[in-house]
Amino acid sequence: MKIAAICGPTASGKTALAVSLRRDFGLPVEMISVDALQVYRRLDAATAKPTPEERAQIPTHLIDIVAPDEPMNAALWVAQAERVIAEVHARGAWPLLVGGTGLYLRALLRGLAEIPTVPAQVREDLATAYLERGPDALWAELQAVDPAYARLTPPQNRQRMLRALEVFRHTGQPFSAFHTAHQAQADRYACFRVSLEPPRDVLHARIRARALAMAEPLCAEVAALRASGLPASAPGLQAIGYRDAWLATENPPDLPLFAERLVAAHLAYAKKQATWFRNNHMEFRMVDSAGTHVAQALRDWFAPA
């Protein structure tokens, strides 16, 4: 079964390209979001979800599918994506996966590594340690036992960090070792992959403008979530920007300072994303989001054999 994917760092133009492929080139594509944050309802200010206008121009899937206090991980997302891909094919359309969460795309293509079940007590002990010692201390522990995975997992990513530590404590093996062994498996879908790579100065300007614009609405959104009773530990609030916004809203926020922190965080995140996609064998590279070449490539890819 054939699929296609548009990948790349935040603000690289992925959604705009997907919309253009359907609107301007008439391709029967349906967009499937590959984004660990866009799955959450009520998290809008800092997740760069397609706008209502964009969604009106292309069928869009896997956005706003869980509440911010519900868990979401690669396995849960893959189950949803497989269902949507089958439905899109059944309509005679082309599944187009669009987003920057490389881990989810890899899980869809390669399946998930077989990792031993961890006893509940190990998870509970680590959850307690997280509350008592804080994320930086546990990240230092992860760096000591699994530096390869620590490089890909910032202290703010509570779920991934605790998962790696619990597996190491239970098995004595680095979490990354299970994934390395899994890499040799063949892809489960035939996937044509596009990696968007705008010039560095262009990308940085887009990221800066986006981050500055989101600072005030993000603080307002998080303040409303706090007032509704959503706890700081909610999975959705572990996302980039949201933890800082939670802290910022404990007092009257210094918006200029918070905005600059958002810029720095998103620039660092984009660098990690670009590195991930560059190192994971994307089959098609381009420097910006002009769609003519991509449209023709997709016509060729999805053409009947």
Residue 286 has pLDDT above 90, yes or no: no
Q: Mean pLDDT throughout 81-109?
A: 96
Question: pLDDT at position 184, please?
Answer: 57
CATH of 2-111+185-302, one of 3.40.50.300, 3.100.10.10, 1.10.760.10, 3.40.190.10: 3.40.50.300
Alpha-carbon radius of gyration of the chain? 20
The residues of the chain that CATH labels 1.10.20.140 are 120-182
Q: Mean pLDDT throughout 195-220?
A: 94
Question: pLDDT at position 104, please?
Answer: 94
Q: What is the pLDDT of residues 226-238, one digit of tens each?
A: 999 999 989 999 8
C-alpha triplet 158, 235, 274: angle, nearest 5°: 65
Residues 6+ apart with CB under 8 A from 140: none
Question: What number does CATH give the domain 120-182?
Answer: 1.10.20.140
Question: pLDDT at position 282, please?
Answer: 55
The residues of the chain that CATH labels 3.40.50.300 are 2-111+185-302
Question: pLDDT at position 292, please?
Answer: 86
Q: How crowded is residue 135: how many other Cβ atoms within 10 Å of its Cβ? A: 17
Reading the block at residue 86, the tokens are 């089958």
Residue 280 has pLDDT above 80, yes or no: no
Q: What is the pLDDT of residues 132-187, one digit of tens each?
A: 999 999 999 999 999 999 998 888 888 889 999 999 999 999 998 887 766 656 78
Q: How crowded is residue 1: how many other Cβ atoms within 10 Å of its Cβ? A: 11
